[in-house]
Amino acid sequence: MFKFAAVFFTLASVLLADSPEAQCGPHALQPKPDFLVAVTSAYRQVEGGYEITVKNNERFGVYLDMRMTKLVNLESEAGKSFILPVAAGAEIVATKLRIVNPIAASNFNYTFDNYLGDPKNTRHDPKTEYELPYAAGFSSPVLQGYKGKFSHNNELNLHALDFGMPRGTPILAARAGVVIASRSDVTTGGHDPGLLGTVDGAGNFVMVLHEDGTVGNYFHMRCGSITLKKGDTVRAGDTLGEAGSTGYSHPDYPHLLFVVRVPDQKNRYGRKTVPTLFRTREGVKLLKEKEVYEK
């Protein structure tokens, strides 16, 4: 019985345990974000029909995938389904609905989803070059690369890179953009299968929206090391926080998971990953597992 208990305790400690940085860093802790995008819609009656408007209250642009789910005695100028870009802070007319028969009753319903990039015409350029997410002169091994057998094997992480580095190593932005989400209150790390594919599995993180609609994700960072909040702008090379081992990350192996994602309506996550080119001391490269790269 004692042996069974000891084995169970060891397994549980690997699944989920306090990370060595559980005391957290010096900054105020940011809780898990809700990921809601502040876009509102309204409609009003105009001559000959109705007008549907949408307002983007965020500090970054979004795309709306709008669908007219019901049109009775009405025609939509934009069609029954359409993709609509809405700039940061903008309020625009999404579509106008024209009454077909002026003496008959008319009504309508609609719905829309928000995307941080055009879900049908992604503008990702595979030739875009990224900076390594650490300081000049620093070297980091890629512990797990693209399509890694351990955990880089689904739509969310297929082209993720795990950069091994000491806990507390400064994490730098690989590309300029706007912060769309961040978190810094996670104190635990481990290989609990229940964390895979979840927000909690990312641990502490920063997500940066790039100008082409792609999103750079920086995961497993040190508790209390992040000050950036939604809406903050960053330049390539700006400090985002520090390396840690939170979320789906073994406490004894601190690292940074970096992955770029784009909208994708073809899978359950609504996103997919893309490979990224990095500028290294040896030139521009696609990084490979078990190789070491210096900035």
What CATH number is given to the structural domain containing 63? 2.60.40
Tens-level pLDDT at each residue, the chain (295 residues)? 333 333 333 344 446 666 676 678 788 899 999 888 999 999 999 999 999 999 999 999 999 999 999 999 999 999 999 999 999 999 999 999 999 999 999 999 999 999 888 888 878 899 999 999 999 999 999 999 897 777 777 777 889 999 999 999 999 999 999 999 999 999 988 888 888 778 899 999 999 999 999 999 999 999 999 999 999 999 999 999 999 999 989 888 899 999 999 988 776 667 889 999 999 999 999 999 999 999 9
Distance CA 97, CA 52 (A): 8
Kindly give, in sequence order, each residue whose CB lies less than 8 Å from that of residue 268, ignoring residues fewer than 6 positions away.
Answer: 155
Whether 138 and 262 map to the same domain: the answer is yes
Whether 271 and 203 map to the same domain: the answer is yes
Whether 77 and 176 map to the same domain: the answer is no
Find the Cα–Cα–Cα–Cα dihedral 176, 177, 179, 185, rounded to 10°.
Answer: -20
Identify the pLDDT of residue 3: 36
**Residue at which a domain ends, from 115, 136, 152:** 115
Question: Helix (H, G, I), strand (E, B), or coil: what is residue 166?
Answer: coil
Whether 108 and 22 map to the same domain: the answer is no
Length of the chain equals 295
Looking at the domain assignment, is residue 10 inside a domain?
no
Identify the pLDDT of residue 10: 38
40 DSSP β-pair partners: 55
Kindly give, in sequence order, each residue whose CB lies less than 8 Å from that of residue 7, ignoring residues fewer than 6 positions away.
Answer: none
Q: Provide the 10 A C-beta neighbour count for residue 136.
A: 11
Looking at the domain assignment, is residue 7 inside a domain?
no
How many structural domains comprise the chain? 2
Identify the pLDDT of residue 250: 83
Kindly give, in sequence order, each residue whose CB lies less than 8 Å from that of residue 64, ignoring residues fewer than 6 positions away.
Answer: 39, 54, 83, 84, 85, 86, 94, 112, 113, 114, 115
Fill in the amino acid letter for 276.
Answer: T
- Residue 46's φ and ψ, nearest 5 degrees, are -130, 175
Whether 162 and 191 map to the same domain: the answer is yes
Whether 288 and 157 map to the same domain: the answer is yes
Q: Specify the pTM.
A: 0.88
Identify the pLDDT of residue 50: 97
The CA–CA distances, whole Å, from 25 to 20, 21, 181, 188, 286 equal 11, 8, 19, 14, 33
**Residue at which a domain ends, from 115, 150, 178:** 115
Looking at the domain assignment, is residue 12 inside a domain?
no
Whether 233 and 266 map to the same domain: the answer is yes
Whether 100 and 225 map to the same domain: the answer is no
Looking at the domain assignment, is residue 81 inside a domain?
yes
Domain membership of residue 233 as a residue range: 18-33+123-294
Identify the pLDDT of residue 11: 40
